[in-house]
Chain A
Amino acid sequence: MSLPPRRAVLPSIALLLLLAACSGGKKESAGKGAPVPDVPAYGDAIVEGSIGDVSGFLTAVTTDASSHEAAGYVFNGLVRYDRNLKLEGELAESWEVSPDGKKITFHLRKGVKWHDGAPFTSDDVMFTYRRMIDPRTPTAYGEDFRQVKRASAPDPGTFVVEYARPFAPALASWGMHVLPKHLLENYPDISKSPLNRKPLGTGPYRFVEWKTGEKVVFDANPDYFEGKPYIARVITRVIPDQATMFLELKSGGVDIMTLTPPQYVRQTETAEFRKSFNRYKYTASGYTYLGFRLSHPFFRDRRVRQAIAFAADKKALIDGVLLGLGQAATGPYKPGTWAYNPNVRKYPHEPARAKALLAEAGWKEKDGVLVKDGQPFEFTVLTNAGNDARAKTAAILQQNLAEVGIRMKIRTVEWAAFINEFIDKRKFDAVILGWNITPDPDQFDIWHSSKTGPKELNHVGFANPEVDRLLDEGRSTFDLERRKKAYFRIQEVLAEEQPYVFLYVPEALPVVHNRFRGIVPAPAGITYNFIKWYVPAALQKHRIQP
């Protein structure tokens, strides 16, 4: 097999990378060589490694992370989260909420064009709203839109929605991608429209091609309303295996991916790796928990739940599962965000206190196992198969609990069966699972006592009148201070009650090839300013013809 000419070029690229390492200044790595002028330039391509393929580009009808990420290049919503996870206008220039909190008026950005040149107007927003509540649209996100009592588009630049009562999460729901009416109105089921495979939006990148299971290609949109993105081309490559993806990164086949903790800690420390890549670290929007079925005779007693919280060694979990790249969770919100209450009851690793609490609850130790009314303290924790971090978490908790005389068995079930057979039917003692933390703190569905039915998300069966009331209060006002007060109190109650033992919040660990500049880590991560990323002209690896 003959080698294509590309190979011959590689050494010189490697040399350039070496040179690249010293300029900049905000990266972790440093190197030697002549400085490269660090000025923004258009051009080059970035190859993104993705575990899963896109399933479709219309986010109304897809639910997986890969699809939503890819669609984000092409489409915009009325609003989005900024670098500090605060809502800001995207297609909406501004908005007002009426004093009674029931009416939101969006003022749309002017002069925005769809990629085919058609103007973007409030008709498109109206169309999107109608499709979201249309029973023919197979969407999982219709609920927020069904809260709307009346929607109107008084002129091409204005869109107004009215709610029966103030509904705080409403604003965030308008981050839903706006669909082009002129291309979709003839498709009663948008999931079957060609746009789901060949999207056309208002976003910073234009769709070029999607080779199923292989890659998706986007080119920069020169007419993007926030300016033309510097990086000319984005290629998302599907690489299902994490180990393969890492090898691709090291050999130049991938420019950006998410590292696992062992990769971050053990395999990217070498000088050679640091010369070519920049690693980043920021708090991920998610946490892992041990949840109890609260109707279980063992776990009905709050002291038992608190005892398990004292027995769980969160430090060991963070060190063992995340190799130190995470922090202890104290409640269901992301540390450092406005809704997060840092002053709640904490549960350090204190086996002695755990034992005392268990004894108080009537559990007596016999041959190393706790017994009450002749019954040994033995239960099964369930988690889903194929999730390495959760499996490790279970193994460590098993050891922690054994130290205080509790025998915990571990059972792993594949996701679909896990949800349908065990969670939905409430056939579990305890589970290890995780939640994503949304920027809006409304967690009505997870904690409200009305949400304990089958398929609903309060699967542990948590019911607390005070929390019910606070959840209601928190979602029915736009007043940030009032919301904050409600959510702070909710966290205090949850910390006291421990319906979950909140375990840890991991760090997100992206790695990017260091020819890419302009990356500024923020609470929202690194990709919020993607269109401002660039490669200095001298370092560009790929020549992209526009």
Chain B
Amino acid sequence: MGRDFAHRLLRNRLAAAGGAVILFFFLVSALPGLFASHEPNRIDIVNILRPPSAAHPLGTDDLGRDVLARVVHGARVSLKVGFVAVGIATALGLLVGLLSGFYGGWVDAVLMRFVDMMLCFPTFFLILSVIAFLEPSIWNIMAVIGLTGWMGVARLVRAETLSIKERDFVAAARAQGAGDARIIFRHVLPNTLAPILVAATLGVAGAILTESALSFLGIGVQPPTPSWGNILTAGKDNIEYAWWLSLFPGLAILVTVLGYNLLGEGIRDAADPRLKGR
């Protein structure tokens, strides 16, 4: 990894483009004021569903709110959903994977059977029921997407842990009195970093899409809080008349999710030592 890795990643033009898109939207969500001068929730009854103009570069929505401002502020919400959900999934996956791989025995057996079970649920069905049963608040949405997405990471970390545990240098470290924590942080984690990063990038993309699907069903992030999913859903009902209301949030989702996927692929390729020099 390191410099070599970064170099290879940047040479992959698609991955670099993906990264650039992601950086751009980071910037947008960090400094929304820079990109949109209007308030995202400022209602203007007189200017409902106006096409793009100088005052409203991306038009206005069905309450006369500025679409640009809503897409820009929605970026923050949508990215937050993606990141927090993936954060939860990764943390949980790491924990389960490490416990399972490190301690083996019945701990492993129980945890892995649980993973098997979770993998058998049609995940979206599960998310749907939980969100509908609880409350479609942004926190619940993030938590549920996270809690249903950790199994892949867990399996990955477990496999890596198992293989590392058997290696000579770990035995040597143990002989020198290194504790579990030290072995985990020094040896296991660095080796699993790349695949986890790949899983996380793809996870963010997936979470953004899941939120938009939930919004379509009316149980995503709730208006007036703007998310790309709920702006797009509002645009859906006026799709033929007010094309701007669905086009821009739709493109934002498309470009961002695409960016994360390309970056994820790029990381995978760049981290694969066997591909070196090819």
Interface residues of A (CB under 8 A from B): 242-243, 260, 262-263, 266-267, 316, 319-320, 323, 385-386, 388, 391-392, 394-396, 398-399, 410-414, 416-417
- Please indicate the chain B residues that have their CB under 8 angstroms from the CB of A411 in the complex: 135, 137, 222
- Please indicate the chain B residues that have their CB under 8 angstroms from the CB of A416 in the complex: 132-133
Query: Are A320 and B219 in touch, CB under 8 angstroms?
Result: no
**What is the CB-to-nearest-CB distance from B69 to chain A, in angstroms, rounded to a whole number?**
14
Q: Which of B5-24 contact A (CB under 8 A)?
A: none
Q: How far is the CA of A413 from the CA of B41 in the complex (A)?
A: 20
Query: Are A395 and B223 in touch, CB under 8 angstroms?
Result: yes
- Please indicate the chain A residues that have their CB under 8 angstroms from the CB of B63 in the complex: 320, 392, 395-396
Query: Are B45 and A316 in touch, CB under 8 angstroms?
Result: yes
User: Which 3 pairs across A and B sit closest by C-beta, in order of nearness?
Assistant: A386-B218, A412-B222, A395-B224
- Return the CB mask of B108-126 against A: 1 if under 8 Å, else 0: 0000000000000000000
Q: Which of B134-171 contact A (CB under 8 A)?
A: 134-137
Q: How far is the CA of A413 from the CA of B242 in the complex (A)?
A: 28
15 contacts between A and B (CB under 8 A): A242-B237, A316-B45, A319-B48, A386-B218, A386-B219, A392-B63, A392-B223, A395-B41, A395-B223, A396-B63, A411-B137, A412-B135, A414-B136, A417-B133, A417-B134
- Please indicate the chain A residues that have their CB under 8 angstroms from the CB of B217 in the complex: 386
Query: Are A392 and B240 in touch, CB under 8 angstroms?
Result: no
Closest to A268 in B: B241
Known: A262-B238, A320-B48. Is A385-B43 also a contact (CB below 8 A)?
A: no
Interface residues of B (CB under 8 A from A): 41-43, 45, 48-49, 62-64, 131-137, 217-219, 222-224, 234, 236-242
**What is the CB-to-nearest-CB distance from A384 to chain B, in angstroms, rounded to a whole number?**
10
**What is the CB-to-nearest-CB distance from B70 to chain A, in angstroms, rounded to a whole number?**
12
Q: How far is the CA of A19 from the CA of B62 in the complex (A)?
A: 36
- Please indicate the chain B residues that have their CB under 8 angstroms from the CB of A396 in the complex: 43, 45, 63
Q: How far is the CA of A388 from the CA of B239 in the complex (A)?
A: 16
Scoring A267, A396, A411, A412 by chain B CB atoms within 10 A of each residue's CB, the highest score goes to: A412
Closest to A317 in B: B45
- Please indicate the chain B residues that have their CB under 8 angstroms from the CB of A413 in the complex: 135-136
- Please indicate the chain B residues that have their CB under 8 angstroms from the CB of A412 in the complex: 135-136, 222-223
Closest to A386 in B: B218
Closest to B133 in A: A417
Given contact pairs A266-B242, A398-B224, enumerate 11 new A-B contacts (beta carbons under 8 Å).
Answer: A260-B237, A262-B62, A267-B241, A320-B45, A385-B218, A391-B222, A391-B223, A395-B224, A398-B41, A399-B43, A414-B135
- Please indicate the chain B residues that have their CB under 8 angstroms from the CB of A260 in the complex: 237
Query: Are B219 and A385 in touch, CB under 8 angstroms?
Result: yes
**What is the CB-to-nearest-CB distance from A504 to chain B, in angstroms, rounded to a whole number?**
14
Known: A392-B63, A399-B43, A414-B132. Is A262-B237 also a contact (CB below 8 A)?
A: yes
- Please indicate the chain B residues that have their CB under 8 angstroms from the CB of A391 in the complex: 222-224
Closest to B41 in A: A395
**What is the CB-to-nearest-CB distance from B99 to chain A, in angstroms, rounded to a whole number?**
34
Closest to A417 in B: B135
Q: How far is the CA of A386 from the CA of B136 in the complex (A)?
A: 10
Query: Are A392 and B237 in touch, CB under 8 angstroms?
Result: no
**What is the CB-to-nearest-CB distance from B224 to chain A, in angstroms, rounded to a whole number?**
4
Known: A262-B62, A391-B222, A414-B219. Is A267-B240 also a contact (CB below 8 A)?
A: yes
- Please indicate the chain A residues that have their CB under 8 angstroms from the CB of B136 in the complex: 385, 412-414
- Please indicate the chain B residues that have their CB under 8 angstroms from the CB of A398 in the complex: 41, 224
Q: How far is the CA of A328 from the CA of B133 in the complex (A)?
A: 34
**What is the CB-to-nearest-CB distance from B190 to chain A, in angstroms, rounded to a whole number?**
43
Known: A266-B241, A267-B241, A414-B132. Is A320-B64 also a contact (CB below 8 A)?
A: yes
Q: How far is the CA of A260 from the CA of B236 in the complex (A)?
A: 13
Q: How far is the CA of A100 from the CA of B274 in the complex (A)?
A: 97
**What is the CB-to-nearest-CB distance from B74 to chain A, in angstroms, rounded to a whole number?**
15
Q: How far is the CA of A323 from the CA of B136 in the complex (A)?
A: 27
Q: How far is the CA of A263 from the CA of B236 in the complex (A)?
A: 12
**What is the CB-to-nearest-CB distance from B56 to chain A, in angstroms, rounded to a whole number?**
16
Query: Are A266 and B238 in touch, CB under 8 angstroms?
Result: yes
Q: How far is the CA of A398 from the CA of B222 in the complex (A)?
A: 15
- Please indicate the chain A residues that have their CB under 8 angstroms from the CB of B133 in the complex: 414, 416-417
**What is the CB-to-nearest-CB distance from B55 to chain A, in angstroms, rounded to a whole number?**
19
Q: How far is the CA of A398 from the CA of B40 in the complex (A)?
A: 14
Q: How far is the CA of A385 from the CA of B233 in the complex (A)?
A: 13
**What is the CB-to-nearest-CB distance from A259 to chain B, in angstroms, rounded to a whole number?**
11
**What is the CB-to-nearest-CB distance from B211 to chain A, in angstroms, rounded to a whole number?**
14
Scoring B45, B219, B237 by chain A CB atoms within 10 A of each residue's CB, the highest score goes to: B45
- Please indicate the chain A residues that have their CB under 8 angstroms from the CB of B219 in the complex: 385-386, 414
Closest to B46 in A: A319
Closest to A320 in B: B45
Closest to A398 in B: B224
Q: How far is the CA of A294 from the CA of B263 in the complex (A)?
A: 55
One of B62, B222, B236 near A385 (C-beta < 8 A): B222
Known: A260-B237, A320-B64. Is A266-B41 also a contact (CB below 8 A)?
A: no
Scoring A267, A385, A392 by chain B CB atoms within 10 A of each residue's CB, the highest score goes to: A385
**What is the CB-to-nearest-CB distance from B132 to chain A, in angstroms, rounded to a whole number?**
5
Q: How far is the CA of A385 from the CA of B141 in the complex (A)?
A: 14
Closest to A242 in B: B237
One of A243, A392, A399, A414 near B62 (C-beta < 8 A): A392
Query: Are A323 and B224 in touch, CB under 8 angstroms?
Result: no
Known: A320-B63, A396-B63, A414-B136. Is A262-B43 also a contact (CB below 8 A)?
A: no
Q: How far is the CA of A277 from the CA of B166 in the complex (A)?
A: 75
Closest to B237 in A: A243
Closest to A263 in B: B237
Query: Are B43 and A395 in touch, CB under 8 angstroms?
Result: yes
- Please indicate the chain B residues that have their CB under 8 angstroms from the CB of A395 in the complex: 41, 43, 63, 223-224
Closest to A422 in B: B135
- Please indicate the chain B residues that have their CB under 8 angstroms from the CB of A388 in the complex: 234, 237
**What is the CB-to-nearest-CB distance from A290 to chain B, in angstroms, rounded to a whole number?**
16
Query: Are B241 and A262 in touch, CB under 8 angstroms?
Result: yes
- Please indicate the chain B residues that have their CB under 8 angstroms from the CB of A262 in the complex: 49, 62, 237-238, 241
One of A243, A319, A414, A417 near B45 (C-beta < 8 A): A319
Q: How far is the CA of A392 from the CA of B132 in the complex (A)?
A: 21
**What is the CB-to-nearest-CB distance from B146 to chain A, in angstroms, rounded to a whole number?**
20
Query: Are B224 and A410 in touch, CB under 8 angstroms?
Result: yes
Q: How far is the CA of A263 from the CA of B238 in the complex (A)?
A: 8
Closest to B218 in A: A386
- Please indicate the chain A residues that have their CB under 8 angstroms from the CB of B242 in the complex: 266
Query: Are B224 and A266 in touch, CB under 8 angstroms?
Result: no
- Please indicate the chain A residues that have their CB under 8 angstroms from the CB of B222 in the complex: 385, 391, 410-412
Query: Are B48 and A323 in touch, CB under 8 angstroms?
Result: yes
**What is the CB-to-nearest-CB distance from A425 to chain B, in angstroms, rounded to a whole number?**
14
Q: How far is the CA of A242 from the CA of B240 in the complex (A)?
A: 13
- Please indicate the chain A residues that have their CB under 8 angstroms from the CB of B137 in the complex: 411
**What is the CB-to-nearest-CB distance from B236 to chain A, in angstroms, rounded to a whole number?**
5
Q: How far is the CA of A411 from the CA of B242 in the complex (A)?
A: 27
- Please indicate the chain A residues that have their CB under 8 angstroms from the CB of B135 in the complex: 385, 411-414, 417
Q: How far is the CA of A122 from the CA of B136 in the complex (A)?
A: 51
- Please indicate the chain B residues that have their CB under 8 angstroms from the CB of A385 in the complex: 135-136, 218-219, 222
Q: How far is the CA of A399 from the CA of B136 in the complex (A)?
A: 23
Closest to B135 in A: A413
**What is the CB-to-nearest-CB distance from A435 to chain B, in angstroms, rounded to a whole number?**
21
